[in-house]
Amino acid sequence: MQAKIIPVILCGGSGQRLWPVSRATHPKQFHALLGEMSPFQATVKRVTGEMFDAPIIVTGNDHRFLVADQLRVLDVEATIVLEPMRRDSCAAIAAAAEVAARRAPDAVVLILAADHEIVEIDQFLKHVAQGLKAAHAGRIVTFGIHPTEPATGYGYILPGDGLEGLDGACAISAFVEKPDRATAESYVANGYLWNSGNFLFRARDFLDELGALAPDIAAPVKAAVADAEADLDFLRLNEADFAKARATSVDYAVMEKTARAAVVPSSFTWSDIGSWGAVWGLAEKC
How far is residue 285's CA from residue 281's CA, in Å, rounded to a whole number? 7
Rounded to 5 degrees, φ, ψ at 200 are: -140, 125
Identify the pLDDT of residue 95: 99
The span from the first CA to the last CA of the chain, in angstroms, equals 35
Per-residue b/e over 122-146, b at no fewer than 16 CB within 10 Å? eebbbbbebbbbbbebebbbbbbbe
Rounded to 5 degrees, φ, ψ at 54 are: -60, 140
**Sign of the dihedral through C-alpha 22, 231, 110, 34:** negative
Q: Name which of 96, 101, 41 is nearest 66 in CA terms.
A: 41
Does 92 reside within a domain?
A: yes
How far is residue 85's CA from residue 120's CA, in Å, rounded to a whole number? 34
How far is residue 12's CA from residue 85's CA, in Å, rounded to a whole number? 10
How far is residue 148's CA from residue 133's CA, in Å, rounded to a whole number? 27
How far is residue 275's CA from residue 203's CA, in Å, rounded to a whole number? 32
Identify the pLDDT of residue 59: 96
Number of DSSP helices (H) and strands (E) in the chain, helices first: 10, 13
pTM of the model: 0.91
Does 61 reside within a domain?
A: yes
- pLDDT profile of the chain (286 residues), mean per 10: 89 60 62 77 94 97 93 97 96 99 96 91 95 97 96 95 94 95 98 96 98 99 98 96 98 96 94 56 52
How far is residue 167's CA from residue 165's CA, in Å, rounded to a whole number? 6
How far is residue 94's CA from residue 165's CA, in Å, rounded to a whole number? 28
Give the CATH number for residue 17: 3.90.550.10
How far is residue 224's CA from residue 219's CA, in Å, rounded to a whole number? 9
Packed helices 203-213 and 88-103: angle between N→C axes, nearest 10 degrees: 140
Q: Which domain holds residue 26?
A: 6-283
Torsion of CA 257, 264, 35, 24, to 10 degrees: 0
Task: Tally the domains of the chain.
Answer: 1
DSSP state of 171: E
Does 1 reside within a domain?
A: no
Give the up-direction half-sphere exposure of residue 120: CA atoms within 13 A in the CB hemisphere. Answer: 11
